């Protein structure tokens, strides 16, 4: 089963390290809604993310971003509507859907007492890899995210920027078609932030990216299209530059809609 720090685990029929990476997962969302008691956290979302596309999801606190991610990853069941990842429903077949997803967030717990390579081997094992596939996946990830020089260091002794590289590396061990990055640069200094941006940019086109962020510059740098959620509704959707140039959309992103009677 999945853990918050390593994300979803694969099923045996799905993509795993040792095979060619997927070019990107196709995400389709139709009428997706989720209620908590009387509270409508998501109110019928329709959108599609194309394979290989980098897609931003913005919104103020409480807009529904985490709820959306939890529905896509199968950790929540919709109250209405559906979402599919490569035509697989995370509700009906969570393991197959989760095998296509890698997850990185600001708050991922990385077992500070483990050494980098040991942790990645552990994470790869949780994802169902073993033997030469596991070794290859770990060594590929160390190389891809420039972690070879620190592979024997304890994670807790690394800078936050390097820890986030480890987090990215674990998210790619199983070559996911969809990377979900939830505030991936929160708490990083500007240099560390631009390092994570460079890592994510280098992956563009090879994987579909769903990026949740409060940072407009990050959305501009990393995404092709952007959606804005406001109180559980999709209030803007389009090319990132256009959405972020629209004052009304930005007000909704900040959670402060302007009304006609305001001065």
**Toward ligand ATP, which CB reaches closer, 72 or 101?**
72
**Toward ligand ATP, which CB reaches closer, 29 or 123?**
29
- Pairing outcome for strands 54-59 and 225-230: parallel
Q: Does 59 bind ligand ATP (CB under 6 A)?
A: yes
**Toward ligand ATP, which CB reaches closer, 59 or 128?**
59
Say if CB 119 and CB 155 are below 8 A apart.
yes
Q: Does 63 bind ligand ATP (CB under 6 A)?
A: yes
Q: Does 165 bind ligand ATP (CB under 6 A)?
A: no
Q: Does 234 bind ligand ATP (CB under 6 A)?
A: no
Q: Which stretch binds ligand ATP (CB under 6 A): 16-24, 59-67, 94-102, 135-143?
A: 59-67
**Toward ligand ATP, which CB reaches closer, 24 or 59?**
59
Say if CB 21 and CB 172 are below 8 A apart.
no
Opening angle at CA 172, ends 118 and 120, nearest 5: 5
Looking at the chain, the number of H-run helices and the number of E-run strands are 9, 9
Q: Which stretch binds ligand ATP (CB under 6 A): 33-41, 101-109, 145-153, 191-199?
A: 33-41
The alpha carbon dihedral of 191, 193, 195, 201 has a sign of negative
Q: Does 192 bind ligand ATP (CB under 6 A)?
A: no
**Toward ligand ATP, which CB reaches closer, 75 or 111?**
75
SS3 state of residue 188 = coil
Say if CB 212 and CB 65 are below 8 A apart.
yes
SS3 state of residue 208 = strand
Structure tokens at 128: 């169902």
Q: Does 44 bind ligand ATP (CB under 6 A)?
A: no
Residue that is written with structure tokens 């559980």 in the block: 232
Q: Does 193 bind ligand ATP (CB under 6 A)?
A: no
Q: Does 177 bind ligand ATP (CB under 6 A)?
A: no
| CA within 13 Å, CB half, 162 | 17
Q: Which stretch binds ligand ATP (CB under 6 A): 25-33, 63-71, 101-109, 124-132?
A: 63-71
Say if CB 55 and CB 209 are below 8 A apart.
yes
**Toward ligand ATP, which CB reaches closer, 63 or 252?**
63
Q: Which residues bind ligand ATP (CB under 6 A)?
A: 36, 39, 41, 59, 61-67
């Amino acid at each position: 089963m999945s853990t918050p720090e390593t994300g979803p685990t694969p099923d045996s029929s799905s993509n795993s390290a040792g095979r060619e990476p997927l070019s990107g997962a196709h995400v389709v969302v139709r009428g997706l809604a989720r209620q908590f008691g009387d509270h409508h956290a998501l109110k019928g979302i329709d959108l599609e993310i194309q394979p290989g596309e980098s897609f931003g999801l913005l919104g103020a606190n409480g807009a529904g971003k985490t709820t959306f991610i939890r529905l896509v990853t199968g950790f929540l069941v919709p109250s209405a509507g559906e979402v599919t990842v490569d035509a697989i429903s995370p509700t009906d077949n969570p393991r197959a859907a989760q095998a296509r997803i890698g997850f990185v967030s600001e708050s991922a717990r990385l077992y500070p007492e483990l050494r980098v390579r040991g942790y990645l081997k552990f994470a790869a094992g949780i994802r169902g890899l073993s033997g030469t596939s596991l070794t290859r996946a770990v060594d590929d990830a160390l190389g891809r995210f420039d972690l070879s020089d620190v592979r024997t260091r304890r994670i807790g002794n690394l800078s936050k920027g390097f820890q986030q590289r480890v987090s990215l590396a674990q998210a790619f061990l199983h070559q996911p078609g969809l990377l979900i990055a939830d505030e991936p640069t929160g708490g990083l200094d500007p240099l560390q932030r631009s390092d994570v941006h460079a890592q994510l940019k280098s992956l563009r086109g090879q994987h579909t990216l769903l990026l949740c962020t409060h940072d407009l510059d990050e959305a501009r740098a990393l995404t092709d299209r952007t959606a804005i959620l406001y109180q559980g509704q999709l209030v803007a959707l389009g090319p990132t530059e256009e959405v972020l140039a629209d004052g009304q959309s930005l007000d909704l992103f900040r959670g402060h809609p302007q009304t006609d009677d305001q001065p």
